[in-house]
């Protein structure tokens, strides 16, 4: 069944869809203008993505539409392609092709069942990345917020700030500030009946045509009230690599955005979504949106929450929302040209502020200096360099620090034991055997997952071995042995044999035993020196010692 669509909750789904459509309208207008200067891609993106994702997704109550993070990434895609394409039309065609490619990546993620891995990214990186995207969205709204033309990307806007400040248009700024004030100060009682975004859009537009009618406010461009036409995918030989990289980033961000919102939906409805099916649905939706010139999208937290709170419980609410939006777009498109850009800038700026993870940013330096450095570093790279570099470096540094910490913890479980006085749990008979050996038998114990960072500890402990005659390698508590740790163990066994020590290897089971068999390490030892019983190995080791010591 397509995303568990049913009419068992028709009234609740209708109210949920209607409420979600009301919330989506101002956001779609704002994102369309922010990304392309034209509201149509935002509006049709909201319709197409919402419709297709509701049909083919895996989270019945999820509302999918253009989101702040996806809009920011798509804006950067347009800017990078515009800088190298022969004309704006070609650049836009290529940008929508990137959306199609991003959808293909998302389908592949779902088909290969990678849904559960997509969101397994360090929170410090996700927080920094999202906060950086929020900052970018805020920065990109500054020109329109101040009543001036866009200045070409984040760096262009930041470098032209003195010029922008010098040329502030007071009326545009006043209207933008009024918009933000409405969004921030609307009482909760009113929010239950009218979303602040729609209230700000309506009141801001009414002010522009009454009190500010002679101020010469900039408004959004008019667009035709007709169904979108099919866009033929476009490639440029020199840009194919860049397009694929951009598509991978856009697709991955869409996956993270959608699945995190699906988790929110699950917590509100006490259900469980199908993450891989959801990724396929999101991919099909973005392909459809790209083919018809719509913005890319993902699961939208705000739309999803209001849908559920209004009674939506099945994907029917998403279908109703998409159809309501389509009717509004077709019927009221001419009115859109009266909406001031300053109002949309105020709405988008508030979205950017909300995306920033203020709660974590306030606590990051208290939780961990390393966490703070990673988070703030990712924010800086996201804003000042690019999104790919930010995520790549952030994940790399976070993983290196995590591996270093895990390796340090696991290295403590690599022990050499020569007497019963050592801090390790041994049976009474094992303790007697070690004491009887008087240091000539060494128990080399490993425990827990042996990741590659532990290899150095294995080598270090082995190099510290004194004048013992026998080494018993105990792997009975090893849950996993990586290739690097296995090679370190192999080297330790080889070196022990080369200096004339007798070697026993006990306790290897499951995947650890298979790893050692594939490395042919067990073939280096006599059959009686390999087993699962540590006590037996210690007995044989002690019995084999020369009587004269």
Q: Check which CATH number belongs to the domain holding 421 and give it.
A: 3.30.750.24
Residue 126's pLDDT band, with cuts at 50, 70 and 90, is: confident
Residue spans of alpha helices (H) in 113-270: 115-118, 123-145, 153-159, 161-166, 170-185, 188-191, 196-209, 240-269
Of 404 and 103, the structure prediction assigns the larger pLDDT to 103
Section 72-94 average pLDDT: 89
The pLDDT of residue 420 is 52
pLDDT of residue 1 exceeding 70, the answer is no
Token digits of residue 169: 């248009």
| Residue 6: per-residue pLDDT | 73
Q: Is residue 249 part of a domain?
A: yes
Task: Report the mean per-residue pLDDT for the chain.
Answer: 89
User: Could you tell me which residue, 434 or 182, shows the higher pLDDT?
Assistant: 182
Binned at pLDDT 50, 70 and 90, residue 424 comes out as low
Q: Give the Cα separation of 378 and 375 in Å (integer).
A: 5
**547, pLDDT greater than 60:** no
Report CA-CA distances (Å) from 248 to 70, 109, 393.
12, 11, 16
How high is the pLDDT of residue 514?
92
Q: What is the mean pLDDT of residues 18-28?
A: 92
Out of 377, 401, 425, pick the residue that ends a domain.
401
End residue of a domain, out of 401, 431, 463: 401
Q: Is the pLDDT at 294 greater than 60, yes or no?
A: yes
Residues 127 and 269 in one domain: yes
* 384 pLDDT higher than 70: yes
DSSP 524: G
So what's the pLDDT on residue 421? 53
How many structural domains does the chain have? 2
Residue 45 has pLDDT above 80, yes or no: yes
Q: Which of 379, 401, 423 is the last residue of a domain?
A: 401
Count the Cβ atoms, other than its own, within 10 Å of residue 192: 10
- Asked if 502 and 431 sit in the same domain, the reply is yes
pLDDT at 549: 47
Are 419 and 316 members of one domain? no
Within 13 Å and on the Cβ side, how many CA atoms surround 353? Answer: 11
- Winning range, highest mean pLDDT, from 76-90, 171-185, 404-418: 171-185
Q: What average pLDDT score do residues 383-401 get?
A: 84
Are 324 and 190 members of one domain? yes
Domain co-membership, 333 together with 191: yes
| Domain assignment of residue 115, yes or no | yes
Radius of gyration of the chain (CA): 31
Average pLDDT over residues 405-433: 76
Same domain, 392 and 419: no
pLDDT tens, 324-376? Answer: 999 998 988 888 889 999 999 999 999 999 999 999 999 988 888 988 999 99
Per-residue pLDDT reduced to its tens digit, 243-288? 999 999 999 999 998 998 998 899 888 888 899 999 999 999 999 9
pLDDT of residue 548: 46
- Band (pLDDT 50/70/90 cuts) for residue 102 is very high
Res 234 pLDDT > 50 = yes
- Provide the 10 A C-beta neighbour count for residue 248: 15
Q: Which residue has the higher pLDDT, 310 or 386?
A: 310
Question: Does residue 419 register a pLDDT over 50?
Answer: yes
pLDDT at 54: 94
pLDDT at residue number 407 = 79
pLDDT in tens, 458-480: 888 888 787 889 999 999 889 89
- Across the range 310-321, mean pLDDT stands at 92
What domain range is 148 assigned to?
A: 9-218+228-401
Residue 302 lies in a domain: yes
Element (H, E) at 65: strand 64-65
Q: What is the spatial distance between Cα 407 and Cα 315, in angstroms, rounded to a whole number?
A: 46
What pLDDT is attached to residue 203?
94
pLDDT by residue (tens digit) across 481-528?
A: 999 999 999 999 999 999 999 999 998 999 899 999 999 888 889 988
Q: Is residue 320 part of a domain?
A: yes
What is the model's pLDDT at position 387? 75
Does 4 fall in a domain? no
Mean per-residue pLDDT, 138-147: 93
């Amino acid at each position: 069944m397509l995303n568990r669509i049913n009419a068992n909750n028709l009234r609740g789904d209708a109210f949920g869809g209607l409420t979600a459509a009301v919330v989506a309208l101002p956001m779609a207008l704002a994102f369309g203008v922010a990304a392309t200067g034209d509201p149509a891609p935002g509006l049709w993106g909201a319709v197409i993505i919402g419709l297709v994702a509701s049909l083919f997704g895996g989270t019945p109550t999820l509302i999918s539409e253009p989101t702040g993070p996806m809009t920011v990434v798509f804006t950067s895609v347009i800017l990078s392609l515009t800088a190298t394409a022969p004309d704006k039309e070609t650049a836009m065609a290529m940008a929508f092709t990137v959306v199609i490619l991003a959808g293909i990546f998302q389908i592949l993620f779902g088909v290969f069942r990678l849904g559960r891995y997509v969101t397994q990214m360090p929170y410090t990186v996700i927080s920094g990345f999202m906060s950086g995207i929020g900052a970018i969205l805020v920065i990109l709204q500054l020109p329109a917020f101040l009543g001036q033309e866009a200045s070409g990307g984040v760096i262009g806007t930041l470098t032209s700030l003195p010029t922008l400040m010098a040329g502030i248009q007071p009326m545009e700024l006043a209207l933008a500030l009024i918009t933000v004030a409405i969004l921030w100060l609307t009482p909760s009682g009113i929010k239950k009946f009218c979303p602040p975004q729609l209230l700000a859009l309506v009141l801001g537009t009414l002010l522009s045509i009454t009190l500010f009618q002679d101020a010469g406010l900039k408004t959004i461009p008019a667009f035709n009230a007709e169904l979108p036409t099919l866009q033929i995918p476009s490639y440029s030989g020199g840009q194919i690599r860049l397009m694929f990289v951009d598509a991978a980033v856009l697709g991955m961000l869409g996956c993270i955005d959608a699945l995190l919102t699906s988790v929110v939906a699950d917590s509100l409805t006490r259900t469980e979504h199908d993450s891989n099916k959801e990724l396929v649905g999101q991919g099909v939706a973005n392909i459809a949106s790209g083919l018809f010139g719509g913005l890319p999208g993902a699961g939208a937290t705000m739309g999803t929450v209001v849908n559920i709170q209004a009674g939506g419980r099945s994907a029917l609410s998403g279908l109703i929302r998409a159809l309501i939006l389509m009717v509004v777009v077709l019927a009221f498109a001419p009115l859109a040209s009266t909406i001031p850009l300053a109002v949309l800038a105020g709405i988008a700026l508030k979205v950017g502020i909300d995306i920033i993870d203020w709660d974590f940013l306030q606590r990051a330096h208290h939780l961990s200096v390393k966490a703070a450095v990673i988070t703030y570093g990712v924010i800086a790279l996201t804003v000042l360099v690019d999104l790919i570099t930010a995520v790549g470096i952030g994940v790399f540094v976070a993983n290196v620090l995590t591996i270093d910490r895990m390796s340090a913890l696991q290295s403590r479980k690599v022990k050499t034991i020569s007497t019963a006085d050592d801090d390790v749990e041994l049976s009474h008979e094992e303790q007697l055997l070690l004491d009887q050996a008087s240091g000539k038998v060494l128990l080399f114990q490993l425990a827990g997952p042996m990741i590659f960072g532990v290899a150095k500890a294995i080598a270090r402990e082995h190099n510290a071995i004194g004048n013992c005659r026998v080494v018993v390698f105990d792997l009975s508590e090893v849950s996993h042995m990586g290739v690097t740790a296995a090679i370190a163990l192999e080297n330790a066994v080889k070196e022990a044999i080369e200096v004339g020590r007798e070697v026993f290897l006990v306790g290897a089971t499951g995947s650890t035993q298979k790893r050692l068999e594939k490395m042919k390490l067990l073939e280096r030892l006599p059959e009686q020196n390999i087993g699962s019983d540590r006590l037996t190995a210690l007995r044989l080791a002690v019995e084999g010692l020369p009587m004269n010591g």
